[in-house]
Each structure stands twice: as C-alpha cells, then as structure tokens.
C-alpha cells in the first residue's frame, strides 16, 4: 500500500504523504525516497511540493509505536539504520537541485516539523494545525544537525522558545516571524498558493543545486559526522 505517492502538475512534482498521521518508519523512508527518485528523473520538473492528503495532519513525526517495539526487542541495529536513513532524507531535501516547498496542511510535530524545516520554503493553512517540537517532553533530544537546519528556518528567539518549551505554534504566528511564506486560509487555498509559488521557479538545476550545496555545507557536514556518531552510540536517547 502506498503511504507516500506523487503526481506531476505541469512543472511541479507534488509529493503526498497519504497515511493519516504520516508517521515516519522504514516504509515511510523507502517510499518518500522513491518519490524523490522518480521526480528528479523527470527533467521537466523544476520544483517540488511536499504535502499530505490527510485533513488534519501534515506529519506527526517518528512512529513511536514502531520505535518502541524495536527498543523493547533491543533491536538497536534496526533503530540505528532507521535514524541514519531519516537523516539522509533530510540531507536529500537540503541538497535537492530544485526548490522543495512544504505545504503544511495540518499538524507538523517533531520530525514532521523538522521535515518542513529542511524544505526551502513553507506554506501552512491557518484554519487547522499546529507546528511543534515536543522532544523536550518525550525525552528525545535533537541531533546536532537538526539544531542547525531548524535554525535556518526559524528565527533564534522563536527557536529558543519552541525547543525549550514544546510550545505549539499556529500558521499566523509562523507567518509573522517569516518561518512560512504565507498562512493560507484553508486546504484549497494552501494548494493553490503553494502551486502558484512553485510554478514561478524555472531555475537551472545545476546552479540551484550548487547554491544549496554551498549554503548548507556546514549543516550537512555536521549531519555526516556528529549525527552519525550520536546515532551509532545511541546518544540520541535520554533516560
């Protein structure tokens, strides 16, 4: 069953997460990577929108039921492989040679909010949904690379408050602080706004990709070094 799928809308590749809360597990990683593969094989596509088909959720982050099961089984190799794979999805978006635009149509929590932060631009509907980092409440600290790429998307004062309190933030507040391009009125307007913005991009992949590579060099370096060390030693868990 498809839990992530994509469609082509003129020059835009639209990736739809289509599994309810869209929680991240190995199947999610495999299918979202497959969508990026197919989209980037098409030279006519000049931008990507990442969104969800669910009415309430964009992405609720890591599948904690799956993760907890692996933890109880002491299957640490599978856990490590998963976190490394998720990090590769994040870095893939950071380095994609076309703009990746998050159309946040509902709740974006934890790794779901981080997924949106790796994108180049963000839109969010204002009639339903919150943006939140609950890690402080569930005892899972940010990896060093996460801290760096979230900071590229969120102003420092707001980053500090959201990370340390777990505060839920709505679309209008995110627009006011320029985390998102626009707080759209509803789901229909969100899609229209994101598509209109995405269609403006006709940049060459070579220059766009090189600019992103240079912009995010420090972030990716930390992800490939410090993050890997912490994942391999399972320091990302706090008891």
Class at the top of the CATH hierarchy for domain 4-199: alpha beta
Domain spans of the chain? 4-199
Of 151, 119, 128, 97, whose CA–CA distance to 50 is shortest?
119
Encode 99-130: b = buried (16+ Cβ within 10 Å), e = exposed: bbbbbbbbbbbbbbbbbbbbbbbbbbbbeebb
Confidence at residue 239, expressed as pLDDT on a 0 to 100 scale: 46
The three-state secondary structure class of 6 is strand
Confidence at residue 23, expressed as pLDDT on a 0 to 100 scale: 97
Q: What is the pTM (predicted TM-score) of this model?
A: 0.95
Print pLDDT tens along the chain (239 aa): 799 999 999 999 999 999 999 999 999 999 999 999 999 999 999 999 999 999 999 999 999 999 999 999 999 999 999 999 999 999 999 999 999 999 999 999 999 999 999 999 999 999 989 999 999 888 888 999 999 999 999 999 999 999 999 999 999 999 999 999 999 999 999 999 999 999 999 989 999 999 999 999 999 999 999 999 999 987 666 44
């Amino acid at each position: 069953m498809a839990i992530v799928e994509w469609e082509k809308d003129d020059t835009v590749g639209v990736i739809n997460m289509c599994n309810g809360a869209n929680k991240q597990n190995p199947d999610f990683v495999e299918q979202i990577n497959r969508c990026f593969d197919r989209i980037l094989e098409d030279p006519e596509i000049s931008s990507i929108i990442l969104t969800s088909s669910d009415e309430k959720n964009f992405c609720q982050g890591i599948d904690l039921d799956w993760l907890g099961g692996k933890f109880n089984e002491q299957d640490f190799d599978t856990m490590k492989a998963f976190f490394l794979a998720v990090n590769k999805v994040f870095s893939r978006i950071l380095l994609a040679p076309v703009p990746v635009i998050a159309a946040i149509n509902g709740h974006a929590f934890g790794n779901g909010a981080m997924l949106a932060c790796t994108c180049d631009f963000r839109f969010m509907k204002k009639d339903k949904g919150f943006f939140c980092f609950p890690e402080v409440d569930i005892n899972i600290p940010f990896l060093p690379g996460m801290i760096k790429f979230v900071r590229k998307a969120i102003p420092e004062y707001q980053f500090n408050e959201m990370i340390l309190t777990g505060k839920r933030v709505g679309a209008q507040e995110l627009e006011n602080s320029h985390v998102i391009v626009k707080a759209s009125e509803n789901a229909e307007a969100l899609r229209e706004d994101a598509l209109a913005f995405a269609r403006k991009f006709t940049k060459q992949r070579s220059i766009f990709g090189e600019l992103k590579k240079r912009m995010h060099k420090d972030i990716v370096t930390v992800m490939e070094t410090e993050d890997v060390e912490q994942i391999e030693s399972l320091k990302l868990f706090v008891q």
